[in-house]
Structure 1
Amino acid sequence: MGKEKNAWMGMQKKRWALMVLALFSLSTVMVFFMRTAFDSCSASTSTGFGGGKVREPEIHSDDRLRSVAPNPLQFMKSKLVLLVSHELSLSGGPLLLMELAFLLRGVGAEVVWITNQKPAEPDEVVYSLEHKMLDRGVQVFNARGQKAIDTALKADLIVLNTAVAGKWLDAVLKENVAQVLPKVLWWIHEMRGHYFKVEYVKHLPFVAGAMIDSHTTAEYWKNRTRERLRIEMSKTYVVHLGNSKELMEVAEDSVSRRVLREHVRESLGVRSDDLLFAIINSVSRGKGQDLFLRAFHESLQLIQDKKLQVPTMHALVVGSDMNAQTKFETELRNFVLEKKIKDRVHFVNKTLTVAPYLAAIDVLVQNSQARGECFGRITIEAMAFQLPVLGTAAGGTMEIVVNGTTGFLHPVSKEGITPLANNIVNMATHVERRLRMGKKGYELVKERFLEQHMAQRIALVLKDVLQNAKSRADS
């Protein structure tokens, strides 16, 4: 009888895990997958540690949103909005724009989506995402058709997503470009130098505004366009992102978290009391998986040399794709074999769902190199799961992680390997500190990085842009 009961409970647990995974697969696609749009936030050259002068976030910030009562985007009801994406893929930029599309549809705006660059052959991802939008009432038009031109001319607001989307203006609108620029909001996520081309951004001074994900990125764009391209940015707004309601529901549901944690750890061969450090990004040199693994190996050596008593430690790399980064991926695996830590390091292929892995791990490592992340949404997602973050002191991460309070920061490049190793050991040897940092991170998310906070910040931008567009049309 006991065996039958245990078997039944086991079946129920697995069934519940599968249900949770299925339920949140759609929401978490907005959260993570081959964040190539945010790969572009990693620059090709290093700025070094502490090179940027960025204000550290405060736990009790002045911009705390105490009231979210009616929907801040309600004024967009019945407005016609055209969203222009440079591509439609499971990457950060397009998924953020889709999220904005759904927020606007939620208040009754008429939303039209066009994709400037689409594969020549039928593509399953494009087909799937287009139908997700159609199911939510977003209209999808051909980027180069007459409908797109007519919509641009009639629209109350046009959002260009990423710098590359700027190519659409001249290629499609042609002589009508000047007519639409006063109602264009340019949402920029890139930081890599090759995006600073006149052919992409020559219209930046003339649009209604530019919206950028972090203060660091905004300053970089202002300085770079002025110095390299000899143009001035239009009015620039900094809008920090927020976690979706769906992800927060998983993060705050102790039953879901526990089931997902057990399910993922069992699949990896990681015991319940082992310590699991993870890096969750598309695998590429700019995301620093190689330096993370070197730091992890160094931390194991430190623990052995100092004869520290800590739980068994594991490293998890989520976002693997041998087809995309064959040489780099091979390098990572060869390092693991060479250092004889194959039983401690786990690779997971690129995935639609990040919530199960956030539930399963103990510490997130955000190791993006060079100029770091534009914002790094995975950071606030991890904090929602009450995880401390070990991040590089670069880019938007410095505007999220409170060093010593919600996690620790370390330098970029090879200089960061030993500091990161020491921080890993710190997390392993100070359980209370690790848990306390996780709770502080969660408090910061609740205060500043929820969907309603992002909606409120975007609403302020859209109001200003619409007002400016109207003023310019009347003058």
Structure 2
Amino acid sequence: MGKTSMSVFVTMQRKRWALMILLVLSVSTVGVILVRSSFESCTVGGKISGHQFAEEKFRSIPERPNPLGFMKSKLVLLVSHELSLSGGPLLLMELAFLLRGVGAQVVWITNQKPPEEDEVIYSLEHKMLDRGVQVISAKGQKAIDTALKADLIVLNTAVAGKWLDAVLKEDVRKVLPKILWWIHEMRGHYFKPDLVKHLPFVAGAMIDSHATAEYWKDRTQARLGIKMPKTYVVHLGNSKELMEVAEDGVAKRVLREHVRESLGEQEEFTLHERVYLVCYYFSGVSRGKGQDLFLRAFHESLEIIKEKKLEVPRMLAVVVGSDMSRQTKFETELRNFVQEKKLQSYVHFVNKTLTVAPYIAAIDVLVQNSQARGECFGRITIEAMAFKLPVLGTAAGGTMEIVVNGTTGLLHSAGKEGVIPLAKNIVKLAMQVELRLTMGKNGYERVKEMFLEHHMSHRIASVLKEVLQHAKALR
């Protein structure tokens, strides 16, 4: 009886710690905004004190001079085409908070908003307001006056170009010399004159990868007959919040056990008795993200194991980014495939969420299966590498600038021809625990060398300095 009571107590304590960690830790810098409501399996109660352990841990480390310090008192206008949980708006919010952290005056404009009240927009706007970011209407005299007064304007994504003519009208030419255009898109349908006709005349374009920068240089010339402005490639970096979780073994273990339990797995399985793979995207499932081909590759990997009678730990796939509430044709296709191949006991679908830390902590391998030209950068890749996970990625786009093939992960071709190579890579990492661990460790070292918040801040700071000088010279 005493043993049973102790078991129940331990289980309750584990769940309590999991919930507490979820409240304060999130992979995205802004992920904590909605952490109380985003992690579907949790009901949060109680309060916690914050990062006391982390503060103790880092108290003795001297603060680095902030590379963005020169932005103090500068007026910066940030223009986003939308405000949502997708990568572009969240990155711009992160920049807003970095600038506020050094004392810049930051004003936010969202160009496209739904007519009805939106809970996500409401939450994100109030998070910005709480951090001292002013949020104003995209239209009207205040928007025009702010644009004319601003020291710097950042247009976020190609679609934000619609705002220039629609709002500024005859004042557009006055602000072009102080615009930095931050581009994240890798799709051909963004190359339209009404979106990017002013692009050659802005102070500069900031793009997340060399692959995307080359693509934009070629396509603007070939399709529109225009030249790109001075273009800066700025690789992204992991937030301090992410790194605190990734480097805290206790937190990772608690989250790992909690997620596995929430997915219906029994506690008696040890860390290496099952191998979890995840195909994860913030904004949901779509054909361009390759979840369908991932599931085909996963099925092929199980067939290879069966055919060759390999001794491999039981493998499970977790597809994060699902949204059955929308009932899309593609979502239905994915689930029908799982039923057709009798994979129900092998595949877990998890709704899209910002609280990605628990899922990254719970898995063994990340699959980054974006198709066609791949991801512009793919921040989830460096987030997984921070957790010492190997990455199985498509040999396309920004992934090739992050993953070192054979060292931090394994690359496969995009498209149907990549299905069998991905399947073989899945089997390889499932069988070779030491290889997984070595690649994960190598990935972590690469993150520490290149993809931290202070690396990104330094890269952005050098761009902003040049753009401000350009604007000043043309006044």
TM-score normalised by L of structure 2: 0.91
Matched with 1:321 is 323
Equivalent of residue 89 in structure 2, options 88, 94, 100:
94
Q: Is the 8 A contact 2:33 2:127 kept in 1?
A: no
Matched with 2:247 is 252
2:116 paired with 1:116: no
- How many Å separate the matches in 2 of 1:146 and 1:371? 40
Q: How far is 1:68 from its partner?
A: 8.0
Q: Is the 8 A contact 1:284 1:325 kept in 2?
A: no
Q: How far is 1:322 from its partner?
A: 2.1
Q: How far is 1:326 from its partner?
A: 1.7
Q: How far is 1:467 from its partner?
A: 0.7
Q: How far is 1:269 from its partner?
A: 2.4
- How many Å separate the matches in 2 of 1:280 and 1:148? 37
Matched with 2:10 is 9
Question: Given the superposition, is the C-alpha separation of residues 385 and 25 from structure 1 closer, same or farther in structure 2, using an over 3 Å criterion?
Answer: closer
Runs of at least 5 residues in structure 1 that lack an aligned partner in the other structure: 34-66
Matched with 1:37 is none
Q: Is the 8 A contact 1:367 1:391 kept in 2?
A: yes
Q: How far is 1:30 from its partner?
A: 4.4
Equivalent position amino acid for 1:19 in 2: M
- How many Å separate the matches in 2 of 1:289 and 1:354? 17
- Cα offsets for 1:70-126 (capped at 9, x unmatched): 000000000000000000111100000000000000000000000000110111111
Q: Is the 8 A contact 2:324 2:331 kept in 1?
A: yes
SS of the aligned residue for 2:9 comes to helix
Question: Given the superposition, is the C-alpha separation of residues 28 and 352 from structure 1 closer, same or farther in structure 2, using an over 3 Å criterion?
Answer: farther
- How many Å separate the matches in 1 of 2:132 and 2:222? 43
2:272 paired with 1:277: no
Equivalent of residue 417 in structure 2, options 415, 427, 439:
415
- How many Å separate the matches in 1 of 2:74 and 2:426? 50
Equivalent of residue 134 in structure 2, options 139, 145, 149:
139
Q: How far is 1:305 from its partner?
A: 1.0
Equivalent position amino acid for 2:252 in 1: R
- How many Å separate the matches in 2 of 1:27 and 1:406? 22
- Cα offsets for 1:196-225 (capped at 9, x unmatched): 000100001110000000000000001100
- How many Å separate the matches in 2 of 1:231 and 1:111? 31
Equivalent of residue 399 in structure 2, options 388, 397, 400:
397
Question: Given the superposition, is the C-alpha separation of residues 274 and 446 from structure 1 closer, same or farther in structure 2, using an over 3 Å criterion?
Answer: same
Q: Is the 8 A contact 1:248 1:384 kept in 2?
A: yes
- Cα offsets for 1:386-434 (capped at 9, x unmatched): 0000000000000000000000000000000000000001101111111
- How many Å separate the matches in 2 of 1:192 and 1:382? 25
Matched with 2:236 is 241
- Cα offsets for 1:444-472 (capped at 9, x unmatched): 00000001100000000000100111111
Q: Is the 8 A contact 1:28 1:354 kept in 2?
A: no
Q: How far is 1:164 from its partner?
A: 0.5
Q: Is the 8 A contact 1:29 1:90 kept in 2?
A: no
User: Which deviates the most, 2-11 or 175-184?
Assistant: 2-11
Q: How many residues align?
A: 440
- How many Å separate the matches in 2 of 1:29 and 1:110? 19
- Cα offsets for 1:16-39 (capped at 9, x unmatched): 000111212594654999xxxxxx
Q: Is the 8 A contact 2:25 2:32 kept in 1?
A: no
Q: How far is 1:323 from its partner?
A: 3.6
Q: How far is 1:5 from its partner?
A: 2.6
Q: Is the 8 A contact 2:156 2:182 kept in 1?
A: yes
Equivalent of residue 306 in structure 1, options 305, 308, 333:
308
Q: Is the 8 A contact 1:315 1:344 kept in 2?
A: yes
SS of the aligned residue for 1:460 comes to helix
Q: How far is 1:9 from its partner?
A: 1.9
Question: Given the superposition, is the C-alpha separation of residues 214 and 324 from structure 1 closer, same or farther in structure 2, using an over 3 Å criterion?
Answer: farther
- How many Å separate the matches in 2 of 1:437 and 1:28? 25
- Cα offsets for 1:207-259 (capped at 9, x unmatched): 00000000000000011001110000100000000011111111111111000
2:148 paired with 1:175: no
TM-score normalised by L of structure 1: 0.91
Equivalent of residue 451 in structure 1, options 427, 439, 453:
453
- Cα offsets for 1:296-355 (capped at 9, x unmatched): 111111111111111101111000012446211111111111111110011001112100
- How many Å separate the matches in 1 of 2:103 and 2:344? 52
Matched with 1:440 is 442
SS of the aligned residue for 2:324 comes to coil
- How many Å separate the matches in 2 of 1:340 and 1:191? 35
Q: How far is 1:2 from its partner?
A: 3.1
Equivalent position amino acid for 1:16 in 2: W
- How many Å separate the matches in 1 of 2:391 and 2:317? 14
Matched with 2:37 is none
| 1:180-195 map, 5 Å | 180-195=175-190
